[in-house]
Every structure is written in C-alpha cells, then in structure tokens.
C-alpha cells in the first residue's frame, strides 16, 4: 500500500528575502534608503511581482544588492533566480498570446455581426423598389461629401504633420542596460534638419538624419533624455535608463 507523502516546497527568492528582512527587524523603507532603491521595488521583490519592476536587466541587479544587504550569499540564489526568471518570461509570453487570441475573437464576432446586419439591410431594400431612386441620389451626394471631406482631411493632415513630433529611433542603446564603463555611446536616426538634444545638450545631425554622441556616466542610475524637434513641431522624446556599476560581476 502506498503511503501519502507531503510535497516539499522550496521557498521562492521573494520569500527568502522577506524572511531575512523580518529577522533583522528592519522595514523595507530603511533598506530602500540604504540601497537607494525604491521601496516599491523592494516590496515587489519580496512578493515575487517581477511585473512591477523596471526592465528585466534591473531584476537580477536589485536581487543581488538586496541579498548582499541581508547577508544572503548570491551564489545560493543565482541558480534559483535563473529558474524563476525563465518561469516569469514563459508566463509573460502565455499572457500576451491569450490577449492576442481574445482580441482576435472579439474582432471576428464584430465582423460577423456587421456582415449579418448588411445582409438584412440589403434584403429589406430589395423589397422596396420605390426607395431605389432616393438611395441612388443619396449615394451621389454621399460621394461628393466624401470627396470634399477627403480634401479637407488631407489639408488638415498636412498641417498637423507640420506641427507633430518628428520621427526618432534610438539605435544604441536599444533598451535599458547595465554597464561597467564610465561612458557610453548614444546614437540614432531622425529626419534630416531636426534639432536633437541629449540631456538638453544639442547634438549634430548629418544630412541623412544620423546622430551619435559619447556620454559620461555617473556611478549609479543615469537617466538619458533624447529629444528631437523642429522650430514649429512638438518634441519627440525617448528615455533610456543606464546603470553604471563598476563592481565586478
């Protein structure tokens, strides 16, 4: 006869961090001030809510800093972190796939309802021949209105385009990141003759719209603001967060 055995469950990294902090008698606010990390982010780590954290490049760094402050060896958590982050990425992909399927289903149902409504309207019009002439004149008027409206929209669109933010694409870095060097290169492309600034410093743009600049970083988190505009348009702004960590991995 088989004897039922309880299933062993290992504590998650978040549970281990929470238990270690509780044993110190300190609050997350004290550790947040010590580590210069948002209290909201430390709370998210303890709860295992990686969705509430910045981009994945920061998750590992925050866990390591918090573990060191709590005197938990990083080597003890590293393998478990790799397992948890894989589960996190898998769940993210499933969630996006589910949302996409739901949107597709809703759009399909709307299209079917619209087609059924069009069929019913067509059947009713066939039974009323006296209205055919009225509908014909209505269609002619509608075509004229659509043409005029199209011209108006085109003019408005041209004016709006003149004042709308210009295109801006950052080539490097293409996402937030952690670096171990005190400087990094910011490069990208925009429309020619745009005014481009990086942290309010104007950067030269070549005739094809390309620009590049070397930025000196301070230790810790650096927020880089890249903006492009013309004299008439609004600004197009893209932000990059770069963490300069000169400690060895």
CATH code of residue 198: 2.60.40.10
Could you give the percent of the chain with pLDDT greater than 70? Answer: 85
Separation in Å, CA 201 to CA 65, 102, 146, 220, 226:
33, 45, 47, 21, 9
How far is C-alpha 47 from the chain's CA centre?
A: 22
Same domain, 159 and 172: no
Least reliable range by pLDDT among 53-67, 206-220, 227-241: 53-67
Start-to-end C-alpha separation, the chain: 52
Of 246 and 69, more confident: 69
pTM comes to: 0.40
Q: What is the pLDDT of residues 115-124, one digit of tens each?
A: 776 555 545 5
Cα–Cα dist 70/97, whole Å = 38
Cis geometry, peptide bond prior to residue 173 (ω within 30 degrees of 0): yes
**Does residue 107 form part of some domain?**
no
Residue from 225, 226, 218 nearest 179 by CA:
218
Tokens of 238: 């893209």
**Does residue 224 form part of some domain?**
yes
Same domain, 218 and 173: yes
Same domain, 172 and 157: no
**Does residue 195 form part of some domain?**
yes
Looking at the predicted structure, is the pLDDT value of residue 126 above 90? no
Same domain, 191 and 238: yes
Paired with 201 in beta bridges are 198
Answer yes or no: are the C-beta atoms of 190 and 211 closer than 8 Å: yes
- DSSP secondary structure letter of residue 189: E
Rounded CA Rg of the chain:
29
Mean pLDDT (the chain, rounded) = 83
Looking at the predicted structure, is the pLDDT value of residue 5 above 50? no
What does residue 126 show for φ and ψ, rounded to 5 degrees? Answer: -65, -25
Looking at the predicted structure, is the pLDDT value of residue 192 above 60? yes
- Strands lying side by side in the sheet with 168-172: 168-172, 183-190, 210-216
Number of domains in the chain: 3
pLDDT in the model for residue 42 = 92
**Residue after which a domain boundary falls, among 116, 149, 164:** 164
Domain residue limits at 142: 135-164
């Amino acid at each position: 006869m088989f004897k039922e055995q309880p299933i062993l469950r290992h504590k998650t990294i978040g549970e281990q961090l929470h238990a270690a902090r509780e044993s110190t008698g300190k609050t997350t606010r004290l550790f947040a001030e010590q580590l210069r990390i948002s209290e909201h982010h430390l709370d998210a780590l303890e709860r295992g809510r990686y969705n509430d954290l910045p981009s994945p490049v920061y998750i590992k760094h925050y866990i390591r800093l918090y573990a060191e402050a709590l005197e938990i060896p990083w080597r003890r958590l590293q393998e478990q972190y790799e397992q948890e982050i894989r589960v996190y990425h898998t769940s993210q992909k499933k969630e996006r796939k589910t949302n996409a399927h739901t949107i597709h289903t809703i759009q399909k149902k709307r299209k079917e309802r619209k087609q059924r409504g069009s069929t019913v309207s067509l059947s009713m019009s066939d039974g009323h021949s006296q209205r055919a002439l009225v509908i014909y004149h209505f269609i002619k008027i509608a075509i004229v209105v659509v043409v005029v409206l199209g011209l108006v929209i085109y003019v408005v669109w041209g004016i709006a385009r003149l004042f709308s933010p210009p295109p801006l694409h950052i080539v490097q870095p293409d996402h937030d990141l952690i670096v171990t060097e005190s400087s990094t290169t910011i490069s990208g492309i925009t429309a020619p003759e745009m005014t481009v600034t990086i942290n309010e410093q104007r950067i030269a743009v070549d005739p094809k719209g390309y620009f590049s600049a070397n930025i000196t970083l301070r230790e810790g988190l650096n927020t880089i603001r890249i903006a492009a505009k013309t004299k008439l348009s609004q600004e197009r702004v893209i932000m990059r967060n770069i963490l300069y960590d000169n400690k060895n991995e």
